Amino acid sequence: MIISASYKTDIPAFYGDWFLNRLAAGYCLVANPYGGPVQRVALNRGAVDGFIFWTRNAAPFGAALDRVAELGYPFLLHYTITGYPKALDAATPAAAAGIADFRALADKWGGRRLVWRYDPVLLSSLTPAPWHAANFAKLARDLRGATDEVVLSFAQIYRKTRSGLNRAARDADFEWNDPIDADKRSLLAELASSAADNGMRASLCGQPDLLPGLLGAGLGEASCIDAHRLSDIAGHHIEAGGRSHRQGCACAGSKDIGAYDTCPHGCAYCYAVSRRGTAKNRRAGHDAEAEILGSTLGARIG
């Protein structure tokens, strides 16, 4: 089983203490966001084939990565660096800090373990297409040699996404839009070209309808839960069993151990947080000894 930690929240940035405690315990509990039963997920060496970590700030997670490696688990780190303005990314580290951390991790663990994410691509009056083209090209140059892949995707406008963007747009006086597919393909082709110029393969996450006509531009389909890459890191075959977590996704099967409404980064387009204040409160009261992520002190589950 591959463990995802986590596309629901930023465990490396905010919950490394909880992760290390659950790793030592050999299991965690995971809430069903739709009201189903709580699940117990084994985290012992016999049950886990490897970890996929997702973050915008891996700096606090160094001891956890060391421990994962000591225990013999292969791991892959998806690191999002976009350089967006604060109106869109309220509390993520500056791009320069992310790049420095990314490169330090690549030096320590090897670039095969790291994947750069430039997603979601959001079109707004603050970040129009020409801005993305120039911004992405600079980031790609700064990350050259530290990774061989960058994952792209356009913002998917879920209910939480729309609500968060509209709220941020009112507060910071900007406009946002979800462009037509032709405009998306045009920008994706430009970004893929910049990626190739800097030794990276560009891949598209969860949006296969945009791929026709772009394969010749060097853009492929992303497999973020990547059993092949994880196998390379492990030095042995890891089975890509199970189903991906959403339709149109090329990921291998995995089990995510995160929780919604727990990430206080404050990204305006986030699909996993209803309101940043709620996430900040849950982070402030977070119980690192709890069996389940998102439990607050005095309110443990399990």
Residue 34 is predicted with a pLDDT of: 77
Residue 239 is predicted with a pLDDT of: 85
Residue 218 is predicted with a pLDDT of: 87
SS3 77: strand
pLDDT digits (tens, 9 = 90+) for 264-287: 999 999 999 988 999 999 999 999
DSSP string of 212-274?
Answer: TTTGGGTEEE--SS-HHHHHHHHTS-----S--SSTT--PPP-EE---TT--TT-BTT-SS-S
Residue 302 is predicted with a pLDDT of: 43
Q: Which secondary structure element, helix H or strand E, spans residue 152, and what is its range?
A: strand 149-154
Residue 266 is predicted with a pLDDT of: 93
Q: Taking the CA atoms of 242, 248, 250 and 256 in sequence, report the sign of the dihedral they define.
A: negative
Model-level pTM? 0.94
Residue 35 is predicted with a pLDDT of: 77
Q: Give the Cα separation of 285 and 17 in Å (integer).
A: 13
pLDDT digits (tens, 9 = 90+) for 108-132: 999 999 999 999 999 999 999 999 9
Backbone φ and ψ for 148, nearest 5 degrees, come out as -115, 5
C-alpha closest to that of 277 among 36, 103, 90: 90
Order across the sheet with 255-256: list the strands: 219-221, 201-204, 149-154, 114-121, 75-80, 50-55, 2-5, 255-256
Residue 136 is predicted with a pLDDT of: 98
Q: Give the Cα separation of 230 and 228 in Å (integer).
A: 5
C-alpha closest to that of 77 among 42, 51, 100, 101: 51
Residue 300 is predicted with a pLDDT of: 45
Residue 92 is predicted with a pLDDT of: 95
pLDDT along the chain (302 residues), means of 10: 96 98 97 85 95 98 98 97 97 97 98 97 98 98 98 94 95 96 96 97 94 85 93 92 63 92 95 91 93 71 44
Q: Which two tokens stand for residue 57?
A: 């700030």
Backbone φ and ψ for 53, nearest 5 degrees, come out as -105, 145
pLDDT digits (tens, 9 = 90+) for 167-189: 999 999 999 999 999 999 999 99
DSSP string of 80-140?
Answer: E-----TTTBSSSPPHHHHHHHHHHHHHHH-GGGEEEEEEEE-EESSS-HHHHHHHHHHHH
DSSP string of 176-229?
Answer: EE---HHHHHHHHHHHHHHHHHTT-EEEE-S-GGG-TTTGGGTEEE--SS-HHH
